[in-house]
Structure 1
Amino acid sequence: MSSIDVIIPVFNDYYPLRVSLLAYLDQTFDKNEFKIIVVDDGSTKDIKSVCKEFENQLNLIYIRKKREGRSAARNVGVSHSMAKRIVFSDADRFPARDFIEKHNTFQKEFYIGDIREIYSSKISNNEKKILNYRDKEIFRRVNYATLIYNLFDDNGLTDSNLSWLATFSGNMSLDRDEFEKIGGFDENFKDWGFEHFEFGYRYFNYYGKPLIYKKDCINWHIAHKRDLSNLKEKWLLSYKIFLEKYNSYEIRCLIDFMFGNISLQSYEKLINDNYYDLKWIKNTEKALFHKL
């Protein structure tokens, strides 16, 4: 039985998944001690053939299911795991060589890793070049991640009530029993949006402890063109599910932060009576606004 498993949901990301699996071949962590569970969420591309290519090189399980969204796919992945600790990544994210080693811990902690980003127009022709980014110090982050990491100090700790805003399901880990105790991801979220935030919010409120930012748990997102025409509409539909589930003041204020109407500091001030005593507030000079 593996001690730590990596759950990777995938929908049609054929070439990005191949790059990701290549990066798991030279992990510093013992290959016999981790398992990769790829959950094919009803892809129309031949994802199974990619996994078959690695079946003799990695401890890998391929599962195909009907299209139900990433929340359901991640939950199916966890249901096939017997490991103590679970790492969540995505098919279009490739890990640093010590990715699993850094996520592995005996502590019951919710780790959020460092999300970096590269762009490649021809993934199939640039696999080696893409993987070489693991040896470079030059990188970029999406604006949201850069903003949210301000909540945490140099040790990855925070006194904020908003650490759940850093729930990046493409690079995070926690103990399987903690995941299962709060019911996993909410499968009412079918599309891209707020399902990861909702999970982090539920974790924070159930266990009463903030998430931890592990800046040495690194993976790279292979950026791709995204259809932005209905992005706002998808966000609002996803947010509606979140709001109807809780209807709490924190969630009612969330949409104003996400659409840049209030700063991260103002959001904290609205929900935290200890605002003026918070270390992260004292250590942050300028107002932090998110832009969609």
Structure 2
Amino acid sequence: MRHAQTISVVITTYNRPDALEAVVRACFMQNDKNFEIIIADDGSTANTRACVERLAAASPVPLRHVWQPDQGFRAAMARNRGTLAAHGDYIVFLDGDCIPQRDFIARHRALSQPGCLVSGSRILLDEALTRRVLDEGIDVAAAPLSARLGWRLRGHMNKIIQLAVRWPDLGRTKKSFSWRRIKSCNLGVWRSDLERVNGFDESFTGWGHEDSDLVVRLFHAGVMRKDGAFATEVFHLWHREARRDQESSNRKVVLERAAARVTQAAVGLREHAHEAA
């Protein structure tokens, strides 16, 4: 089976440099360093730029910063522009508040397979543990199992079994479509497949469902989905819920496209061709 060679990790961020620094420094500690980092910045201010400059100076892997003006929630555009700046044949999308474990890259590489995407898994941290991670510099990815068990028992994280068990690449590929566990905060996709469906669709307004739209379009284009649970877990730092004014209308669009078996983004990668030229 052919696995991904160079991996590009596209990390989306918006005005949360403390979380971004924790995420990127965890990337620096990966046991597989054959990857690059693209910070896909949806309009953050100078604090984030300064943070990225510090990180780039210390990075053991190539690191680039792709910034766009703040014109509201435009994560789909940020991910597309991050993809265009990437050099890898395999893109792993990671959010700037999701701390990867030490073998995150290695596990994504091992699960990568032509004709498939990998929808990763996450473990939610509560507000109290998130504050300790960011304020005290706790390395949650390196914490011993005893500490993690204590956090789980006290309700500071919502899962632990996924951290103690690694499931092999058996029975992960689903031939039928499921809406469950579609999260662009931890998603591995071949670049050629993204190009085939024109990437994320930037025509969505506000927060919500642009990740589901991508996955369902990839499915209709013939890309099957692998479940990345018990292999690719990330620690999702707590944050206040984003405004979801457009969520119901966005979901309606996704369901209509799914029924029509749409594969192409209305506004996506190809619309940025002039930037790559």
Normalised to the residue count of structure 1, the TM-score between the two structures is 0.71
SS in 2 for 1:88: strand
Q: After TM superposition, give the deviation of residue 27 of structure 1 in Å.
A: 0.5
Task: Return the letter of the residue paired with 1:182.
Answer: V
Residues in 1 aligned to 2:91 and 2:144: alpha-carbon distance in whole angstroms: 23
Partner of 2:251: 239
Cα pair distance change 1:134/1:48, threshold 3 Å: farther
Please list every run of 5 or more consecutive structure 2 residues that lacks an aligned counterpart in the other structure: 163-168, 263-277
Residues in 2 aligned to 1:127 and 1:83: alpha-carbon distance in whole angstroms: 31
Task: Return the letter of the residue paired with 1:160.
Answer: S
Q: After TM superposition, give the deviation of residue 133 of structure 1 in Å.
A: 4.5
Q: After TM superposition, give the deviation of residue 241 of structure 1 in Å.
A: 3.5
1:143-154 equivalences under 5 Å are none
CA deviation profile, 1:29-52 (whole Å, cap 9, x unmatched): 02xx21100021111351111111
Partner of 1:259: none
Task: Return the letter of the residue paired with 1:214.
Answer: G
Note the aligned Cα RMSD (angstroms).
2.8
Task: Return the letter of the residue paired with 1:121.
Answer: R
Please list every run of 5 or more consecutive structure 1 residues that lacks an aligned counterpart in the other structure: 147-152, 252-292
1:111-126 equivalences under 5 Å are 111-119=118-126, 120-121=130-131, 123-126=133-136
Which portions of structure 1, spanning 4 or more consecutive aligned residues, are displaced by more than 6 angstroms? none
Report if the CA contact (8 A) 2:132-2:138 is conserved.
Answer: no
Report if the CA contact (8 A) 1:89-1:172 is conserved.
Answer: yes
Residues in 2 aligned to 1:161 and 1:111: alpha-carbon distance in whole angstroms: 13
Q: After TM superposition, give the deviation of residue 74 of structure 1 in Å.
A: 0.1
1:169 aligns with 2:184: yes
Task: Return the letter of the residue paired with 1:50.
Answer: C
Q: After TM superposition, give the deviation of residue 124 of structure 1 in Å.
A: 3.6
Partner of 2:137: 127
Query: What is the aligned residue count?
Result: 233
Q: 2:224 aligns with which of 210, 217, 225?
A: 210
Task: Return the letter of the residue paired with 1:5.
Answer: S
Task: Return the letter of the residue paired with 1:195.
Answer: E
1:107 aligns with 2:113: yes
1:59-138 equivalences under 5 Å are 59-67=62-70, 69-105=74-110, 107-108=113-114, 109-119=116-126, 120-121=130-131, 123-133=133-143, 138=149
Residues in 2 aligned to 1:40 and 1:161: alpha-carbon distance in whole angstroms: 31
Tell me: higher relative CO, structure 1 or 2? Use CA pairs within 8 A at least 6 residues apart.
Answer: 2
Residues in 2 aligned to 1:62 and 1:107: alpha-carbon distance in whole angstroms: 28
Cα pair distance change 1:201/1:133, threshold 3 Å: farther
Report if the CA contact (8 A) 1:71-1:190 is conserved.
Answer: no
Q: After TM superposition, give the deviation of residue 123 of structure 1 in Å.
A: 4.9
